[in-house]
Amino acid sequence: MFCQFSLAYFLLIEDIQASTFKPHCTLPPSGTNYVSGPNTRGTLTILWNCLSIIVLCTWSIQRLNVPAIRAPEEHTVKEMWQTVLDLRKKIKWMAFTVLFPEYLVGRAFGERLGMKVSVDDMLEYNASWENVHAYMANMGHFVLDTEGDLGIRDSLTKSDRINSARLQYRYWALTASQLWRAIQLGIIDPPEVSASHLKKLDNGEAFIKALALIQVSYLIIQLVVRKVAHLPSTQLEIETLAYSASSILTYLLSWNRPQGIETVHLIPVKQNARDRKFVVETLAKDGPMYLWLDHRPEDTFDENLGPAPIPNDATYFGAELNLPESVYKALAWNSEIATLAFGVIVGGTLFGGLHCLAWDFSFPTHWEALTWRISSIMISALPPLSIVPVSFWIRSNPWNLQRERKVSPTTRIILKLVLLMVFIVPYFLARLFLIVEIFRSLFFLPPEAFIDTWSGSFPHWG
């Protein structure tokens, strides 16, 4: 049914004569000291205001891991060019956030759980270990200074082999759980770094965050004032509100997590450390897990300057959760899925639910209005409805492939097809429709949508 509506939407092409309207305001008389803004707003004004909020929100919530250490460039031009190249990763994750904001919610939730567990575990060895220490460890700030070239066992799982590959060089960037294990094994002493020192390393862009807060506040005030005044808003503004809500939730879950860290803290390895091969295999098992296990891009870094960075898609919180064994069995030991599922369910439901605010908005056609409502309901309902089939799929695909599978290959294929055709494909088709419709409907707004209110004088950028 949804596919029929989507097909009808793309086939409905109206013969419309495009028209534009340019308002003309009279000039104030000479001697006027203050001139208020016009009582109208234009199409581009709405567009730029909303796009600026989306860009600011998706950019300011990025908290990436410590990047690869590189040697400084001798020439200013080369240094500037390298800075531009370094922005590619953040731009990539910003674009990913625009497409999948619920993933960031789940990742932030998992990182917070992992931080709490790390603080509790490390209190036995370091009473000064605080939230910021755990966050910095999981970002790759604490690095072991060692040497050796060790082989990788074929019997390790794919995630363990990825972790082992990062431990083949002199410098090892370890997560909080790996540091705790290294201290237990007597490889290192607990790092003695004050929380105040780590907080000073935070390079979070306060100006960008403040600007994003101002823009989001402006949007909320605009929507409330227009609702009270019985003036229509636009679908693009509702979409922007949904992104803002997801970003705020992600930001709250990431509270106290540093941002923009580009330095490392070296920890020397004890001389009487255990066999290196044993250490690598042990730490690899305590390392992060990964959602993408195959066809991963190779890390580009100078092994003589620093460690292989911890990938930003690492789900290291899964290995750190102190869950009952019954819960682990129910998840087939895929504990990292639990926190990501939270993000998809809460983030996706919140994102889709806010789109329902445009239920009675004006649309170019009746079919588009109906498809918008169906898409909003699908985005809100599909994540929680997918809990049961996802649970079965998790049980049929244990994290450790050496564990016994509980279902037959045919059943696993059927589960994949059900998830793909009933949940995943319709969900992304609904998201795709909403993205297209917010821009299309911007050119078919009722005249009342262009009436500005006093909220237009609220400080904002755009």
Residue 335 within any structural domain of the chain: yes
Domain extent, residue 332, equals: 323-446
CA distance 312 to 437: 32
Residue 17 within any structural domain of the chain: no
395-434 pLDDT tens trace = 666 554 444 455 677 777 887 888 888 888 999 999 999 9
CA distance 244 to 171: 39
Contact (Cβ atoms closer than 8 angstroms) between residue 309 and residue 297: no
Residue 207 within any structural domain of the chain: no
Residue 375 within any structural domain of the chain: yes
pTM, full prediction: 0.82
Distant-in-sequence, close-in-space partners of 354: CB < 8 Å, separation ≥ 6: 238, 241, 242, 245
CA distance 192 to 339: 31
- Cβ atoms within 10 A of the Cβ of 138, count? 28
Length of the chain: 462
Residue 429 within any structural domain of the chain: yes
Q: Which of 48, 40, 35 is nearest to 461 (CA)?
A: 48
Which neighbouring-strand residues pair with 144? Answer: 172, 267
Residue 455 within any structural domain of the chain: no
Residue 359 within any structural domain of the chain: yes
Q: Which ranges of 254-386 would DSSP assign to H, the alpha helix? A: 276-285, 325-330, 335-342, 348-355, 366-385
Distant-in-sequence, close-in-space partners of 409: CB < 8 Å, separation ≥ 6: none
DSSP states along 298-333: PP---TTTSPPPPPTTB-TTGGG----HHHHHHTTT
Contact (Cβ atoms closer than 8 angstroms) between residue 154 and residue 145: no
Give the number of domains in the chain.
Answer: 1
CA distance 198 to 129: 11
CA distance 220 to 211: 14
Torsion of the alpha carbons at 171, 182, 194 and 198, rounded to the nearest 10? 40
pLDDT, position 4: 46
Token look-up 């403040």 returns 210
Note down pLDDT in tens along the chain; length 462 residues. 444 444 444 444 444 446 787 777 788 888 888 877 778 888 998 999 999 999 989 998 888 888 887 777 677 777 787 777 778 888 999 998 988 888 888 888 888 888 888 888 888 887 788 899 999 988 888 888 776 444 444 445 556 666 666 666 677 888 888 888 888 888 888 888 888 888 888 887 777 888 888 888 888 999 999 999 999 999 999 999 999 999 999 998 888 888 888 888 888 887 665 666 777 777 777 777 776 666 666 667 666 666 778 888 777 655 455 556 665 565 555 666 667 777 778 888 899 899 999 999 999 999 999 999 999 999 988 888 887 777 777 666 655 444 445 567 777 788 788 888 888 899 999 999 999 999 999 999 999 999 888 766 666 665
pLDDT, position 442: 93
pLDDT, position 367: 95
Q: Which of 240, 195, 191 is nearest to 357 (CA)?
A: 240
Residue 175 burial class via C-beta count within 10 angstroms: exposed 0-12, middle 13-18, buried 19 and up: buried
**Inter-CA distances, 127 with 112, 195, 257, Å:** 19, 12, 19
Residue 418 within any structural domain of the chain: yes
